[in-house]
């Protein structure tokens, strides 16, 4: 059994665009953390918690100091909400569900 902490860590290398780098820098400053790594790790932790809640079927709200509640809609989490075998297709005016993996309207079944 290895007890050295370095044995349990893995270095991650990936490319980021200048826009992504600016977002990470903004996040670092906003979260008041010392490094981009800390900002990314904290963001991953928050996103993981949000995904767990979305998969559990929970909806998320923000409450203002006045007590007003607003539904939080995060587009990246919509895949975990809603239908299991149906999918929405982007269309300007048609809001219909389709069977996942098929070009078949759910209303025809």
Phi, psi of 49 (to 5 degrees): -65, -40
- Token pair, residue 40, equals 């990314």
pLDDT at 83: 65
pLDDT at 4: 61
* Whole-angstrom distance, CA of residue 50 vs CA of residue 44: 10
The DSSP H or E segment spanning 98 is: strand 97-99
The set of residues, in sequence order, having a beta carbon less than 8 Å from that of 85 and lying 6+ positions away, is 99, 100
* Whole-angstrom distance, CA of residue 82 vs CA of residue 20: 30
The residue extents of the domains of the chain are 16-72, 74-109
Of 96, 95, 99, give the one whose Cα is nearest residue 109: 99
How would you write the pLDDT of the chain (109 residues) with one tens digit per residue? Answer: 555 666 778 888 889 999 999 999 999 999 999 999 999 999 999 999 988 888 777 888 999 999 999 988 777 776 666 666 777 777 777 777 888 788 888 888 8
pLDDT at 80: 64
pLDDT at 60: 86
Instruction: Flag whether the pTM goes above 0.75.
Output: no
């Amino acid at each position: 059994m290895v007890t050295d902490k370095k044995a349990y860590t893995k270095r991650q290398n990936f490319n980021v665009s200048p826009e992504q780098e600016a977002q990470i820098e903004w996040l670092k400053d906003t979260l008041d953390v010392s490094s981009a790594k800390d900002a990314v790790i904290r963001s991953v932790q928050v996103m993981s918690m949000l995904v767990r809640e979305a998969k559990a079927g929970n909806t998320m709200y923000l409450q203002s100091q006045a007590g007003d509640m607003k539904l939080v809609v995060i587009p990246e989490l919509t895949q975990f909400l809603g239908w299991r075998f149906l999918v929405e297709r982007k269309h300007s005016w048609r809001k219909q569900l389709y069977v996942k993996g098929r070009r078949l309207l759910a209303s025809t079944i």
